[in-house]
Chains A and B, each alone.
Chain A
Amino acid sequence: MLVVNFLLLAAVLFCIGVYGVIARRNAVLVLMSIELILNSVNLNFIAFSLMHGNIDGQVFALYVIAVAAAEVGVGLAMVLMIYRNRKSIALDELSEMKG
């Protein structure tokens, strides 16, 4: 198998995730898109780990999974707070930092 396969697949997922971050209005959906990005990165790590025969890549991928889980937890807690304050989690209404 060619490593190119994995890498290209990861690239595509990455770009879809980027598109999702930019295009989606709902905060939860944005978080989901970020998960896509993270997973694409994990794929890269595993592919390279296989390519080099080094399991450091896998270790790091595990690391990323754990951190992603923590991040989602905190992120959703924040989304919850936003929802409580504003009754809406549409991100384009959230422009307090405008200016």
Chain B
Amino acid sequence: MTALLLAIDDLNVAQNVAFGIIALLMIVAALRVVTTNNIVHAALWLVIVLAGVAAQYILAAAEFVAISQVLVYIGAVMVLFLFGIMLTRAQIGKESGLNNKGWALGIPVALLLLGLMGYVIIDAYEDTVLPDRGPVPTEAISDQFLSIYLLPFIALSFVLLAAAIGAIVLARKD
């Protein structure tokens, strides 16, 4: 706690404020994702979460990743989700019973996990200060992808291919 105050004192206030606002927004949106009764609203709240994540990436000097996040996640994945919702005839509008019978079990588990992780994180990284860097050039990332991580990169393309074919195969009407 004192570190937080110190941080506020010591470092870039604007960054912290921006971080704080966006973080708050993300948390609220995430909570709405898991508690709302309307599936479409849940999807839209998820969009906000994803956008918030992208904003955090920019704050963390990872612009390429942020842009890919927006393009891929919000642009493709969320569209996919919406299509999925549509195809599964989800009721547009509120519907009751989107929660399991045992939804209460999730709360203690989540809180437990949160407590545990919080403790560990604060204990380990309490005073670590992020360095101030400039934005990472995209070519640095591409250099990594195409030299050291070439094999995973190619494999990733296969994964995507397999996923695409797999999805088609799974979902076709025969």
Q: Give the number of chain B interface residues (Cβ < 8 Å).
A: 91
Are the CB atoms of A16 and B99 closer together than 8 Å? no
- Chain B residue numbers with a CB within 8 Å of A74 are 163, 166-167, 170
Are the CB atoms of A66 and B97 closer together than 8 Å? no
Partner of A4, one of B69, B122, B136, B168: B122
Are the CB atoms of B81 and A12 closer together than 8 Å? no
- For residue A1, CB closer than 8 A to chain B, the reply is yes
- Chain A residue numbers with a CB within 8 Å of B170 are 74, 77-78, 80-81
Are the CB atoms of B106 and A19 closer together than 8 Å? yes
In the complex the two chains form, what is the Cα distance from A21 to B114 in whole Å? Answer: 15
- For residue B154, CB closer than 8 A to chain A, the reply is no
In the complex the two chains form, what is the Cα distance from A43 to B65 in whole Å? Answer: 10
- Chain B residue numbers with a CB within 8 Å of A49 are 60, 62
In the complex the two chains form, what is the Cα distance from A72 to B77 in whole Å? Answer: 7
Are the CB atoms of B101 and A92 closer together than 8 Å? yes
Report A61-91 CB contacts with B as 1/0, cut-off 8 Å: 1110111111111101111110110000111
> Which of B's residues lie within 8 Å of A, judged by CB?
3-4, 7, 11-12, 15-16, 19, 23, 26-27, 30-31, 33-34, 39, 42-43, 46, 49-50, 53, 56-57, 59-62, 64-65, 68-69, 72-73, 76-77, 80-81, 83-85, 87-90, 97-103, 105-107, 109-111, 113-114, 117-118, 121-122, 125-131, 133, 136, 140-141, 144-145, 149, 152, 156, 159-160, 162-164, 166-168, 170-171, 173
